[in-house]
Chains A and B, each alone.
Chain A
Amino acid sequence: MADEAQLRALLLKGLAGDEAAHRAFLTETGAMLRAYFRNRLRGAPEDAEDLVQETLVALHSRRDSYDPNYPLTAWLYAIARYRLIDHVRRAKHRAHASLDGVDVGETDPQFEASDARRDVLTLLEKLPSKQRTAIRLVKLEEKSVREAATQTGRSESDIKVSIHRGLKALVRLMSEAGAS
């Protein structure tokens, strides 16, 4: 890895318009920055690489903010540290982003219930009429088994069996509908 004097010479040549020197400066600096950010952001190598790039852009676009009378590494790490602090602040801000005052809309319970009702009614159409009638009377219209039996002229146990079989079939139909 290049030392202070070499890096400084590369940057100064780059400032004077030497493209190859500037490329070498950025490459060497990139490696130093990678080590710096990886050390400080353990477990977040993608963030570290993002910061390497951000810092390289900052160093490049503000490269004349380097004062040649002072150590280059002091300048370089002052900017790297600044980018790191900025990154941590932004991350904190993101983590605490509040939804207060943000209108995300309300879930409509009536809509959801009517949706579910429509689904059940659709599936109910697929059952044999005996089961369908029993379920509609007892489960949807909330009549007693006895009332359902008198209304349909069937026995109470017949109604119960129909409900039991019908519900089983409904569950099967629903899981098929969910899978498709």
Chain B
Amino acid sequence: MKTDDLIAALARESGSEYRRNWARDLSLTLLAGLAVAALLVLIGLHVRADIGVALTPVLLKAAFSAAAAAALLPLVARLMRPGRPLGWRVTAAALLLCLCGLAALVALAGEAPGQRMQAWTGGGFPWCLVMIPLLAAPCAALLVWLMRAFAPTRLTLTGASVGALSGAVGAMAYSMHCPVDSIAFVGTWYALAIAICAAIGALLGAKLLRW
């Protein structure tokens, strides 16, 4: 096909206003991802038995995860539409990681020496490292689907931030199940789980986000 014919054909398609509401699409996608993750916790993992008395720490953990999502969201939103500088949005994501590490260190320093290991690992393997990425997967799939409809051009970075954002959403859902409440635990392992999601996203980004 000649380029001029192509231009004519494309121009004929443009007879009406064309504007997708990317902010609404992004929020709906995140809500759907959160709903699926919450459903998976309710069905597959069950909500922790002492939810009645432990409501405050559960809400605090969910709020921490929501704050992480809020720190990552501007980066994802920015990468949806190309040709714009990233600016402070990368800093916000990096700052999140630093704050988590700092909070964990401060909290650990405040524990009695004999209690530190218990507070840090929650007395066993930190399962959130496995569970948060699994719970993040549906949200990540939805986000990838949405992103491809827009125009991400930096696929590895987009993959990493989509992965991290999904990880934060997964962490919100997982906090209903997670039995460990110490700040050191959350600051270390939730943050690491989100980082794992980011790493997986960076690895798969170039493949899955291609358009």
Contacts and interface: CB of A to CB of B under 8 A. Distances in A.
Contact of B15 (A19, A53, A56): A19
Interface stretch (A61-69, A94-102, A142-150): A61-69
B84 A22 contact: no
Contact of B81 (A15, A17, A57, A66): A66
Interface residues of A, number: 38
A60 interface: yes
B11 A19 contact: yes
Interface string A1-44: 00000000000001111111011001100100000000000000
A30 B3 CA distance: 8
Given A17-B16, A64-B18, A82 B7 contact: no
A49 interface: yes
A17 B17 CA distance: 4
A75 B3 contact: no
Contacts of B11: 19-20, 22-23, 26
A71 B80 CA distance: 16
Interface of B: 1, 3-4, 6-8, 10-20, 22, 80-85, 150-151, 153, 210-211
A60 to B, nearest CB: 4
Contact of A23 (B3, B8, B80, B85): B8
Nearest to B84: A70
Nearest to B81: A65
Interface of A: 14-20, 22-23, 26-27, 30, 49, 52-53, 56-58, 60, 62-67, 69-72, 74-79, 81-82, 86
Nearest to A18: B14
Contacts of B85: 70
Q: Which among B16, B19, B151 has the greatest number of chain A C-beta atoms within 10 A?
A: B151
Given A57-B6, A75-B83, 11 more contacts: A15-B19, A19-B11, A20-B11, A49-B3, A53-B1, A60-B14, A64-B19, A70-B85, A74-B82, A75-B82, A86-B210
B7 A26 contact: yes
A81 B7 contact: no
A164 B42 CA distance: 93
Nearest to B152: A82
Contacts of A82: 82, 151, 153
3 A-B pairs closest in CB distance: A75-B83, A23-B11, A74-B83
Contact of A67 (B1, B15, B83): B83
B6 A56 contact: yes
B6 A53 contact: yes
